A and B are shown apart, each in its own frame.
Chain A
Amino acid sequence: MALINVAAREIHCKIVYYGPGMSGKTSNLQYIHSQVPKDTKGELLSIATETERTLFFDFLPLDLGKVRGFQTRFHLYTVPGQVLYERTRVAVLNGADGVVFVADSQRHKMRENIASLQELAENIKKQNKNFREFPVVLQYNKRDVPGALPVEKMDEFLNPAALKLGWQRYEAQATSGPGVFDTLKAISKLVISRL
């Protein structure tokens, strides 16, 4: 839950990038870190294995400065995507105000995307939160990969109209940037609307 400190006039919000292994969660944070103004960002902290796979989380604090007298901060986290880190994901998800679900557009990754999204729903419910009301934005990453699944097909699996979840979704190429900030803007505004 977001924290509003009235004495210090500060607002803190936590956004978690969730999704299967190698879908591009860390790449999102790296791209954001490379592009936002220097006085807006803190250090990008990564707890990774020797092979640069996320072990615990990546953490990027963003300070948006004073808005209507309130210093506003977004803290971006990623979870480790590999299956064996399920419990670690639960830990990082703790207290999140919103989630960006980063799906891999490669055809053979759809099963992993679905499993990861189902796990996310379970983990949000375990925090006694209503998953239907929880702020989620979808990002279909790696749109530049040859043979990427059409977005309509991905919608069928991850954002089916019948479920009426109404999630916004963005196409992206996190390593080079397209879609990264559209996703970040969408989740930030969604989280702010729920303060």
Chain B
Amino acid sequence: MDPQLTSQIVPVEEVRAIEECLSVLAENTGGNHILLLDKSGQVIAAHGDSTRQDVTALGALIAGTFASSREVAKLLREKDFRQLFTQGVRENIFIALIEDQWILCIIFNKGTHIGLVKVLTKKATDELALVLDRVREQQKARDDVLGSSFRTSMEDTIDLLFRD
């Protein structure tokens, strides 16, 4: 099968490494909310304000913004834009690309200087790039993770929920 079509499986120990990295970044920058996204918009890990209900929509929109900026880069014959900064009245968002697969997003308020966020985010993206490399290397077989009867159970659930 086309390797691009296989799933990306993030093992338990790597999720812990990611959470630790996000936690340190939040502590050092005073960031309110940090998200690690897949380029397709799916949230791999989130740290911070646990009352936030809109994380899924945030992930989709931020990944969309990044994918859109990539197309702008192509039009400008730029390789890609690896960082994006959005400034609000109360909160700011800084987004950085990790290789070509993940997106790190940090939401912080006016009390934090953007320079600090940039420097510390660079350190975090380097660490997360190593995690990504390990995730890519240790792809486990699907059945080891999901179990062989997963597909049948999933099809039953789809039939049950997706109907008029």
Contacts and interface: CB of A to CB of B under 8 A. Distances in A.
Contact of A56 (B12, B38, B64, B146): B64
Interface string B140-164: 0010011101110111011101111
B110 interface: no
A128 B1 CA distance: 13
Contacts of A134: 2, 5
Interface string B1-38: 11011111111100110000000000000000000001
Interface in A74-91: 75, 77, 87-88, 90-91
Contacts of A92: 64, 67
B121 to A, nearest CB: 22
B112 interface: no
Contacts of B75: 87
Contacts of B68: 56, 87-88, 91
Contacts of B67: 90-92, 94
A64 B157 CA distance: 7
Interface in A1-41: 1-8, 11-12, 14, 32, 35-37, 40
Contact of A4 (B63, B145, B157): B145
Q: Indicate the size class of the contact surface on chain A.
A: 35 or more
A189 B44 CA distance: 23
Most chain A beta carbons < 10 A, residue from B8, B43, B150, B164: B164
Contacts of B15: 5-8
B97 to A, nearest CB: 12
Contacts of A7: 10-12, 15-16
A12 B162 contact: no
A165 B33 CA distance: 45
Contact of B154 (A6, A56, A72, A75): A72
A72 B63 CA distance: 20
A96 B44 contact: no
Given A6-B9, A67-B153, A133 B41 contact: no
A1 B41 contact: no
A59 B57 contact: yes
A184 to B, nearest CB: 5
B5 A133 contact: yes
Contact of A188 (B38, B39, B158): B158
Contacts of B5: 1, 97, 129-130, 133-135, 194
Contacts of A4: 7-10, 145-146
B39 A133 contact: no
Contacts of A61: 56-57, 60
A11 B147 CA distance: 13
Contact of B4 (A43, A67, A127): A127
CB-based closest 5 A-B pairs: A95-B40, A7-B15, A91-B67, A12-B42, A87-B71
16 contacts: A2-B7, A2-B8, A3-B44, A11-B7, A12-B38, A59-B60, A61-B57, A64-B154, A95-B41, A129-B4, A130-B2, A130-B5, A133-B5, A192-B151, A192-B155, A195-B150
Given A192-B151, A193-B151, 20 more contacts: A1-B4, A1-B40, A3-B40, A5-B10, A8-B15, A12-B40, A12-B42, A57-B60, A59-B57, A64-B154, A70-B150, A72-B157, A75-B60, A91-B70, A94-B67, A97-B5, A185-B162, A188-B162, A192-B155, A195-B151
